[in-house]
Structure 1
C-alpha cells in the first residue's frame, strides 16, 4: 500500500466508520495530501509507508516552516498537525506502523479568541432588518424565522438548516443533531415558534418532506445565502463584522449567563462536549458587560 492509498483508506474510515463530517474529511484530506507532497519534494522522490513513519523531528519542523512561509495562522497549522496525527494514529492501529516523531510533535499555540456577542436588541434588529431586505414576503419571513431560531435556541447555522420539515409545528422543545451527530434538546420560545409558523404558512413550496428552510427555488437553503443577507443587515445597522449568524449563538449563551443561568445547563443547551469550551463564555460575558458599562456609564472612561 502506498502512502496515497493509505491516506484514501484513512479518509474513507473517517467518513464511514467514524462518521466525521464532510468538511472535516475534506480539510484533513487536503492537509495530509499536502504533507505527503512536501515529504516527496523534501526527500526528492516517492515515499513508502516505511519511509513515511521514519520521518524525523527536523523534517517535521521543515514542513511546518514551509507552511508558515505561506502566511498561515497558527490555527490552520494546528489543524494540519491534528490531521497528520490522526492519519498516523490510523496507520498504527491498522498497519502496526509507528512514527515517534509525529506523536511527539506539538501543534503551534493558537491565541484564544473569545466570541463577540451582540446585544439582545441588536439580535432582534438583525433578524428584522435581514427579513426586510428580501424582495419576496415569504423569503423575508424565512430569514427572520431562521435568525430568531439561531438566537432563541442557540443553534449553529448548520443545525438550523439541517432541520427537517417534520419538526413543524414547533413545540416547547426541539431535537437538534449537532457535531459528531450527537442529539440534544433545545427549548423553543413562543416568538420563535410563531416566526417559523408564519414562514411555513407563506412558503410557496410544500414543506412536507426535506428541509424546513428552503431556498428561492425550493431546494435546501445554503448557509452562504443567509450569511450574505446578514452581512447587508449589519452594515445597514452599523454593526461590526463580528455580527455573524454564529454570533447569535454566542449571544444566546452570553445572555443566559448574564441572567444567572448555570454553566452546565448552558453546556447541554449548546451541545458542547467539554465544559471548558462553554467556560469561554464566562470571559465573554465579563468583557461584554464591561464594554457596555464603559459606553453607557458617564464615568466609564475614567
Structure 2
C-alpha cells in the first residue's frame, strides 16, 4: 500500500486510535486491496460491497469481526481517500446477546488452590479480587498498589481511562508473599527478562493449567474471573453503579447483564407453579 499505508497510519494516529485498532484496520484494508486487485485509490464502494459479501457468505465471520472490517473500510474511504462512503444494503450487524459463563465459589476456590506457582496464584487472585481485564493485570506496576488506601490504580484501561479498584486484605497478603519470593521490579508480573510485562497469552496459560488441575469442565478463561467478580458482588448486594465503576464500563447496560447471572434473584423468586400447588388442595 505504500503511501496509502503511511497516510492511514497518520490518520489513525491523529484520531488517537488504540494500537490494536490501528493494526486491525490496516490489516483489513490490506485484505480489501488484495481481494479487489486494484490500487487503493481506485477502490469503489462496489469493491467494498463485494468484499463484505465474501466475508459474510463464504468466510462466515462473526458479527463483531464483520463490523470491524466495515469500520476499517469506512475509515479508509472517509479519512484517507476523502470520499463519501455509502454501501447500499449493508449495516452494522447486531450480535445476539449472550450471557457470559461464570464460576461459582467452589470452582474459584479450586482454581486458585490449583495454581502451579505462587506467581500464578497471585496473578489469578488479582484477576478475581479486582475484576480487572487480563491485559490490565499483566501491565500492573508495583507502584500502582497503594496499601495505605487499600486501592489499586488501573492506568489507561480500556477506552484509555484511569480508574481505581479495591485492594483486598487477602490479595495484599498473597502479593506480599509473592514479592518476597520473586522480588519483581517495575512490573508486578514481569515477562522474560523482567523489562516488559507478562504477555496476555502467558497469563491465559497459567489460568488453563490451574483449570485443568482443578477439573473445571466449564468453557472458562481468564476473563471469566472478571465475570465471576461482578456476579458475586451483585449476589452480595453491591450496587450496579459501584460495579460499573469498578469494571470501568462506560454504559450501565453493560453492567446490568450480570444481574441475570446472579443466582440470588433466582432463588428468592417463587415459581408460579409452586404457588399454584400450595393453593390447590391435595
2:65 aligned to which of 76, 84, 99: 76
Q: Which residue of 1 aligns with 2:11?
A: 13
Correspondent of 1:101 among 81, 87, 96: 87
Q: CA RMSD in A?
A: 2.7
TM-score (norm 1): 0.78
For the residues of structure 1 that align with 2:184 and 2:232, how far apart are their CA atoms? 36
Unaligned 5+ segments in structure 2 are 269-273, 275-282
> How far, CA to CA, are the matches of 2:77 and 2:36 in structure 1?
15
- Corresponding residue number in structure 2 for 1:149: 126
**Equivalent-residue separation in structure 2 for 1:61 and 1:148 (angstroms):** 47
Report the Cα distance in structure 2 between the residues aligned to 1:47 and 1:168, rounded to whole angstroms.
Answer: 48
**Per the alignment, in what secondary structure is the counterpart of residue 45 of structure 2?**
coil
Give deviations 1:105-152, integer Å, cap 9, x for gaps. Answer: 31233222321111123223212212xx2xxxxxx2211111111111
Count of residues in Structure 1 that have an aligned counterpart in Structure 2: 265
The equivalent residue for 2:277 is none
Q: Is 1:191–2:170 an aligned residue pair?
A: yes
Q: In the TM superposition, what is the alpha-carbon distance from 1:36 to its structure 2 partner? A: 2.2
In the other structure, the counterpart of 1:252 is: 229
> Alpha carbons of 1:119 and 1:71: their partners in 2 closer, same or farther (altered >3 Å)?
same
Q: For residues 180-218 of structure 1, what are the alpha-carbon distances to aligned partners after superposition, in whole Å with 9 as ceiling and x for unaligned?
A: 221011111100111111111111x452xx211124653
Change over 3 Å in CA distance of 1:126–1:206 after alignment to 2: closer
Counterpart check, 1:55 vs 2:53: no
Residue 154 of structure 2, aligned match among 155, 176, 192: 176
Q: Does 1:46 align with 2:46?
A: no
Contact 1:168-1:197 within 8 A present in 2 as well: no
CA distance in 1, matches of 2:249, 2:114: 30
Q: Cα–Cα, structure 1 residues 124 and 12, in superposed 2: closer, same or farther, change >3 Å?
A: farther
Partners of 2:184 and 2:259 in 1: CA distance: 43
Q: How far off its partner does 1:249 sit?
A: 0.5
Runs of 4+ residues over 4 Å off in structure 1:
none
Q: What SS does the corresponding residue of 2:249 show, helix, strand or coil?
A: coil
Alignment match, 2:188? 212
TM-score under structure 2 normalisation?
Answer: 0.83
Deviation larger for 165-174 or 153-162:
165-174
Q: Once the two structures are superposed, what CA deviation does each residue of 1:46-81 show, in whole Å capped at 9, x if it has no partner?
A: 342xx43x423xx44421221231343233212211
2: CA distance, partners of 1:159 / 1:275: 21
Counterpart residue number, 2:29: 32
Between the aligned partners of 2:248 and 2:145, the Cα distance in structure 1 is 22
Query: Of the candidates 121, 135, 153, which is equivalent to residue 106 of structure 2?
Result: 121
- Offset of residue 158 of structure 1: 0.7
Shift of 1:4: 5.5
